[in-house]
Amino acid sequence: DSGVTQTPKHLITATGQRVTLRCSPRSGDLSVYWYQQSLDQGLQFLIQYYNGEERAKGNILERFSAQQFPDLHSELNLSSLELGDSALYFCASSVVQNYGYTFGSGTRLTVV
Amino acid sequence: AQTVTQSQPEMSVQEAETVTLSCTYDTSENNYYLFWYKQPPSRQMILVIRQEAYKQQNATENRFSVNFQKAAKSFSLKISDSQLGDTAMYFCAFMSPDSNYQLIWGAGTKLIIKP
Query: For the segment B31-76, what is each residue's pLDDT rounded down to a tens digit?
Result: 999 999 999 999 999 999 999 999 889 999 999 999 999 999 999 9
Residue of B nearest to A5 (CA): B44
Return the closest-CA partner of residue A21 out of A60, A65, A55, A56: A65
User: Given this model, what pLDDT does residue B32 score?
Assistant: 95
d(CA A94, CA A102): 6
Contact B9/A at CB under 8 A = no
- Quote the Cα angle for B32-B35-B36, to 5°: 160
CB B80 within 8 A of CB B63: yes
CB A23 within 8 A of CB A48: no
User: Given this model, what pLDDT does residue A59 score?
Assistant: 85
- Which of B 42-71 lie inside 8 A of A, CB atoms? 42-47, 50, 52
- Which of B 78-107 lie inside 8 A of A, CB atoms? 91, 95, 100-103, 105-107
Q: Is the dihedral of CA B82, B86, B87, B92 positive or negative?
A: negative
User: Given this model, what pLDDT does residue B98 score?
Assistant: 82
Say if residue B97's pLDDT is above 90. no
Backbone angles phi, psi at B86, to 5 degrees: -85, -10
Residues in chain B closer than 8 A to A88 (CB atoms)? 43
Contact B35/A at CB under 8 A = yes
**Residues with Cβ within 8 Å of residue A2, at least 6 apart in sequence:** A26, A102, A103, A104, A105, B44, B46
Mean pLDDT of B88-114: 93
> CB-CB: which of B42, B45, B50 is closest to A90?
B45
User: Given this model, what pLDDT does residue B5 score?
Assistant: 97
d(CA B19, CA B73): 20
Structure confidence by residue, pLDDT tens digits, A59-86: 899 999 999 999 999 999 999 999 999 9
- Chain A contacts to B (CB-CB under 8 A): 2, 37, 42-43, 45, 48, 56, 58, 88, 90, 92, 97-103, 105-106, 108
Residue segments in chain A with a per-residue pLDDT below the cut of 50 = none
Residues in chain B closer than 8 A to A103 (CB atoms)? 44-46
Taking CB atoms within 8 Å and a gap of at least 24, the contacts of B60-68 are: B64/B36, B66/B34, B66/B36, B67/B20, B68/B34
User: Given this model, what pLDDT does residue A99 score?
Assistant: 84
CB B6 within 8 A of CB B107: yes
Burial (Cβ within 10 Å: 0-12, 13-18, ≥19) of residue B46? middle
User: Given this model, what pLDDT does residue A44 score?
Assistant: 92
Mean pLDDT value across chain B: 94
B107/A42 touch (CB, cutoff 8 Å), yes or no: yes
- Which of B 13-32 lie inside 8 A of A, CB atoms? none
User: Given this model, what pLDDT does residue A53 score?
Assistant: 95
